[in-house]
């Protein structure tokens, strides 16, 4: 018998699909979601996901092997669609019999869905809007994540609450839809479950868990921050596209704006080709997340964080965070049932 009967009942489809006790996924966070955090999440009844990011197939291979040494519970691997070795990474997951592959960063390239599913893994894909969600399901995705712009990291333009209203009533009865972005408390989880979500995905709330290897200064920056400090990066010039990233304001975010102006000016003077200018913008943040998470450079690095950062006040073990979320959800559902 579950300690959280109402929440567990609403999470039943999601938990069964993930093979975890609770349908709470910890979204992959580059540099943060490695063996320690991933295994801690899965061991605590949630579902951890390794962030492959820019890892080589060899690195992913050893990360999965090391994670397996720390947990016997299921966990997933997040692959970025534009990774040049995507198909080799899919093979690595298959060799390790990883049960769930999460594809992020745009529509899956031709052949990738079949490659993942052929090897027996379940595919979870991000649906940025209803039409694409339907398309992804037709193409073979087994579950969707809808993620609003409150989230940390790369974001789309629409809020979680609007995406949930657009997508859940259409798709959630027949399909597995997980909701992400801006979830800080269990009350919110209860709300999305009642709307039909199979489960939820959180990142920001887990980034500073005791088991997270993030640098102490990275964690301190989170504890100090409020929702309004987690801002989306701004594109300055239409010729220089910027995929918005939500991160804590710091010297680096200010300098990024200045850098865009500088490159635009060089472009105006025709001293640089368009492709080169766009590359300079794209590469500006390369390595920045690592600088913040691993080296603790909170001034110049990228402190990716969602708006729920204001609800992250101290380092807590993953098990306590998950238990707290489940208790809050259960209390919210109990209260609503009484009305």
Binding site for ligand FMN (CB under 6 A): 27-30, 32, 51, 53, 78, 104, 147, 150-153, 180-183, 201-205, 207, 304-306, 308
Closest CB to ligand FMN among 196 and 306? 306
The residue number whose beta carbon is nearest to ligand FMN equals 203
CA distances to 30, 190, 329 from 193, in Å: 27, 5, 9
CB of 28 to ligand FMN, least distance (A): 5
Closest CB to ligand FMN among 247 and 263? 247
**DSSP β-bridge partners for residue 125:** 103, 144
Closest CB to ligand FMN among 86 and 277? 86
CB of 175 to ligand FMN, least distance (A): 19
The answer to whether 108 touches 82, Cβ cutoff 8 Å, is no
The whole-angstrom distance between residue 286's C-alpha and the CA centroid of its chain comes to 18
CB of 309 to ligand FMN, least distance (A): 8
**DSSP β-bridge partners for residue 247:** 231, 304
CB of 110 to ligand FMN, least distance (A): 21
CB of 210 to ligand FMN, least distance (A): 17
Closest CB to ligand FMN among 51 and 141? 51
Closest CB to ligand FMN among 15 and 204? 204
Given the DSSP bridges, would you call strands 24-26 and 230-232 parallel, antiparallel or unpaired?
unpaired
């Amino acid at each position: 018998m579950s300690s959280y009967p109402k929440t567990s009942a609403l999470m039943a489809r999601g938990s069964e699909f993930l093979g975890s006790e609770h349908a709470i996924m910890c979204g992959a966070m580059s540099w943060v979601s490695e063996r320690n955090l991933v295994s801690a999440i899965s061991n605590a009844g949630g579902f951890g996901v390794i962030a492959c990011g820019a890892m080589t197939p060899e690195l992913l291979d050893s990360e999965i092997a090391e994670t397996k040494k720390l947990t016997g519970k299921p966990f997933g691997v997040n692959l970025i669609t534009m990774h040049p070795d995507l198909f080799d990474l899919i093979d690595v997951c298959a060799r390790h019999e990883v049960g769930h592959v999460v594809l992020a960063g745009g529509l899956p390239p031709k052949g990738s869905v079949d490659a993942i599913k052929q090897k027996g893994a379940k595919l979870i894909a991000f649906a940025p809007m209803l039409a694409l969600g339907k398309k992804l399901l037709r193409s073979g995705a087994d579950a969707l994540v809808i993620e609003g712009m409150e989230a940390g990291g790369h974001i789309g333009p629409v809020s979680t609450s609007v995406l949930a209203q657009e997508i859940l009533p259409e798709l959630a009865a027949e399909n597995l839809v997980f909701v992400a972005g801006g979830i800080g408390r269990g009350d919110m989880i209860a709300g999305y479950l009642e709307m039909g979500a199979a489960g939820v995905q959180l990142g920001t709330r887990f980034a500073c868990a005791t088991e997270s290897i993030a640098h102490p200064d990275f964690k301190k920056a989170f504890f100090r921050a409020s929702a309004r400090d987690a801002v989306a990066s701004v594109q300055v010039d239409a010729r220089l596209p910027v995929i918005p990233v939500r991160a804590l304001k710091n010297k680096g975010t200010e300098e990024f704006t200045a850098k865009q102006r500088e490159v635009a000016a060089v472009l105006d003077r025709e001293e640089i080709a368009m492709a080169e200018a766009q590359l300079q913008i794209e590469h500006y943040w390369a390595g920045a997340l690592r600088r913040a998470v691993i080296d603790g450079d909170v001034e110049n690095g990228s402190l990716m964080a969602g708006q729920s950062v204001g609800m992250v006040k101290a380092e807590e073990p993953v098990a306590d965070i998950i238990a707290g979320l489940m208790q809050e959800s259960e209390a919210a559902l109990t209260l609503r049932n009484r009305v």
